Structure 1
Amino acid sequence: MIGLAAAGIGFAAAQSPAFFRIGTGGTAGTYYPIGGLIANAISGAGDKGVQGLVATAVASNGSVANINAIQGGSMESGFSQSDVAYWAHSGTGLYEGKGKVEDLRLIATLYPETIHLVARKDAGIKSVADLKGKRVSIDEPGSGTIVDARIVLAAYGLSESDIKAEHMKPGPAGERLRDGGLDAYFFVGGYPTGAISELATSAGISLVPITGPEADKMLSEYKFFSKDTVPADTYQGVGETPTISVAAQWVTSAKQSDDLVYNITKVMWNDATRAALDAGHAKGKMITLQNAVTSLGIPLHPGAERFYKEAGVLK
């Protein structure tokens, strides 16, 4: 740290880490490569990035693990679904009875993670209400998906006892669907997702719309949801499907210095980072300055907020 202070870098080295870790997800998912692009962009090297900062993307078990690491001080920042970040900050949902992570703050909302309700083509499921009595996987206990699935079911007047609930991860659920042992399953993630694309091609699927007054009520009640649409032919043979999404978000702790987070946010939205995101990953193009301040289920970090006000995207 002394060397950094002596180098006269542009933010208070005494308060700020030289290293800024970004907790991501598994190496096969979307969080990890996006995290790598962002870490590379904000690292101070030559005339780019935040001078004196070394940022790294770290593989992890995803949203909950990242929030726990930020809370415990083993990560400076991380990616999380907007629903999980909201539950952590408010002590609800997955964090019911576990206490609030009150220091959790938002740097930027990144891109939508779409709620897919994947059904067997011949299962006759046209609406969420049609899931009654059907064999449906709502993911494993402890996952963000299971909490979202229960919210969606409740909006359409159903509970877990109204369906034949299975608790499987999306991969095994897709295999069971193909074999005829399952009628539908919930999956939360960016489209197109490889496993569903493969299922659509090999077995044929339908995507069940999550729309209408029930969806509108969810959107007004839960600020971490947004309207979303899966475009036609994203998955073979599946038409345009209205649904809802949560957002992938980059979160940090209120303990991180305002100047540091301001500088990081400023670099995140410069032209060089824009070019790197556009070229580096299919989801990169969806990460925009306009979307950065949407799905605000938790407070913005004051450093990020200052930048967004200067940039004119926040009043």
Structure 2
Amino acid sequence: MAAVILLCFAASPLAAEQLSLFRIGTGGIGGTYYPIAGLVAQAISNPAGHCEAEEVCGVPGLVAVAQSSSGSVANVKGIAAGQIESGFVQSDVAFWAFSGVGAFEEDGRQTSLRAIANLYPESFHIVVRDESDIESVGDLAGRRVALDEAGSGTLVGAELVLEAFDLVETGVFVSYLKSDDAMEKLVTGELDAFFLIAGYPAKVIQWASEQAKIRLLPLNGPETAELVKVNPFLQLDVIPGGTYEGVRKVETLTVAAQWITRDDVSEETVYGILQALWRSDARRLLDRGHAKGRAIRLETALEGVGIPLHAGALRFYREVGVLRRRTGAPDPS
């Protein structure tokens, strides 16, 4: 889609001067990043340069597009390299990238990263077939398990879980497949389980539950408690029963999905994006479009943000008083 827009720019010198492309890196189309980013892109885009009553009114001249990718790690690298303007990223991945630790120890600190907003919680899903004898994470030893592909935040989170349950050295047969491919192999019996970190309901798991009887493995017990203790970006949560067809309530972990950009993206652009995102018309769009769209709220826009705010975001949140409410004290100038 982005390529089509760029061709349009080239064909029209006037349009090239007036329009600005703003890409949002997401994940696979079967996850939650992609549909949510599509809603956000619709909310902040306004290529016509005007706003009519009762319409979603974005930033004049801005054309935002959701761009599929391998996920959080790939989005961070794309942003840092200037290949995309922004992306959705797990909060742990954003912090590690900025600090140069964890998954980014070899790459070093990505100090150009800046936060736009905290978005919504993402849940850990570990999917198995209902008839499987796998009842807990510990039962994954010796099984065929997909951890998502390189560049995904799911892979980072899945490796944390396997390490916490001492499964790294116990013969888990790992494959690196995007959730769409993993789901198909699970349904056909070629896989025993797959991981996905996404806001529920995730499209790919909805599809899997319609094709076969599935279950979600719980993340609980002392191993999970220790995981939360040493990784403060993780929280205990529950995926409600009925979220997926025939699947009962299950205890799990969550990590925040956050929207990040680069420090050299203009202050006016990010400021305008946030003005558009928190308008009432954008609110209606988010509420109608996806269950996790309803979780994107101004009052939680700074929760769990572990990297510096972009200058445009800092300006916006100061003006609307969110920084004061967050800290309980006047925001320092």
Provide the rounded CA distance (Å) in 2 between the counterparts of 1:63 and 1:269. Answer: 24
Please tell me the residue identity of whatever aligns with 1:114: S
Within 5 Å, give how 1:112-261 maps onto structure 2: 112-258=121-267, 260-261=269-270
Please tell me the residue identity of whatever aligns with 1:46: H
Q: In structure 2, what is the equivalent of residue 314 of structure 1? A: 326
Residues 314 and 174 of structure 1: CA distance in aligned 2, closer, same or farther (over 3 Å): same
Provide the rounded CA distance (Å) in 1 between the counterparts of 2:95 and 2:183. Answer: 29
Q: In structure 2, what is the equivalent of residue 25 of structure 1? A: 26
Provide the rounded CA distance (Å) in 2 between the counterparts of 1:38 and 1:111. Answer: 13
Aligned-residue CA RMSD (Å): 2.8
Please tell me the residue identity of whatever aligns with 2:299: Q
Residues 32 and 159 of structure 1: CA distance in aligned 2, closer, same or farther (over 3 Å): closer
Please tell me the residue identity of whatever aligns with 1:254: D
Q: In structure 2, what is the equivalent of residue 38 of structure 1? A: 40
Provide the rounded CA distance (Å) in 2 between the counterparts of 1:178 and 1:46. Answer: 48
Q: Quote the sequence identity (%).
A: 44
Provide the rounded CA distance (Å) in 2 between the counterparts of 1:276 and 1:198. Answer: 24
Residues 297 and 160 of structure 1: CA distance in aligned 2, closer, same or farther (over 3 Å): farther
Please tell me the residue identity of whatever aligns with 2:43: A
| 1:105 maps onto 2:114 in alignment | yes
Q: CA deviation at 1:32?
A: 4.0
Residues 140 and 63 of structure 1: CA distance in aligned 2, closer, same or farther (over 3 Å): closer
* Residue-by-residue CA offset, 1:251-282 (whole Å, 9 max, x unaligned): 11223344543343233223222122112334
Residues 110 and 233 of structure 1: CA distance in aligned 2, closer, same or farther (over 3 Å): same
Residues 216 and 262 of structure 1: CA distance in aligned 2, closer, same or farther (over 3 Å): farther
Q: CA deviation at 1:185?
A: 1.6
Residues 39 and 140 of structure 1: CA distance in aligned 2, closer, same or farther (over 3 Å): closer
Provide the rounded CA distance (Å) in 2 between the counterparts of 1:217 and 1:299. Answer: 28
* Residue-by-residue CA offset, 1:180-215 (whole Å, 9 max, x unaligned): 343222112222233323333333121111123322
Please tell me the residue identity of whatever aligns with 2:287: D
Match of 1:79 among 77, 88, 95: 88
| 1:303 maps onto 2:286 in alignment | no
Residues 53 and 77 of structure 1: CA distance in aligned 2, closer, same or farther (over 3 Å): farther
* Residue-by-residue CA offset, 1:48-98 (whole Å, 9 max, x unaligned): 444x55141142424344333322334332222323323321223432311
Q: Contact 1:223–1:296 (CA<8 Å) still a contact in 2?
A: no
Q: Contact 2:148–2:154 (CA<8 Å) still a contact in 1?
A: yes
Provide the rounded CA distance (Å) in 2 between the counterparts of 1:39 and 1:106. Answer: 17
Q: CA deviation at 1:232?
A: 0.3
Q: In structure 1, what is the equivalent of residue 283 of structure 2? A: 274
Deviates more, 1:192-201 or 1:229-238: 192-201
Q: CA deviation at 1:118?
A: 0.8
SS of the residue corresponding to residue 166 of structure 2 reads coil
Provide the rounded CA distance (Å) in 2 between the counterparts of 1:136 and 1:83. Answer: 23
Q: In structure 1, what is the equivalent of residue 301 of structure 2? A: 292
* Residue-by-residue CA offset, 1:129-165 (whole Å, 9 max, x unaligned): 2222333222334433222111012222321534233
TM-score by length of 1: 0.81
Gaps of 5+ in 1: 1-16
Tell me the number of residue pairs that the alignment of Structure 1 and Structure 2 aligns. Answer: 298
SS of the residue corresponding to residue 65 of structure 2 reads strand
Residues 188 and 27 of structure 1: CA distance in aligned 2, closer, same or farther (over 3 Å): closer
Please tell me the residue identity of whatever aligns with 2:204: A
Provide the rounded CA distance (Å) in 2 between the counterparts of 1:279 and 1:203. Answer: 28
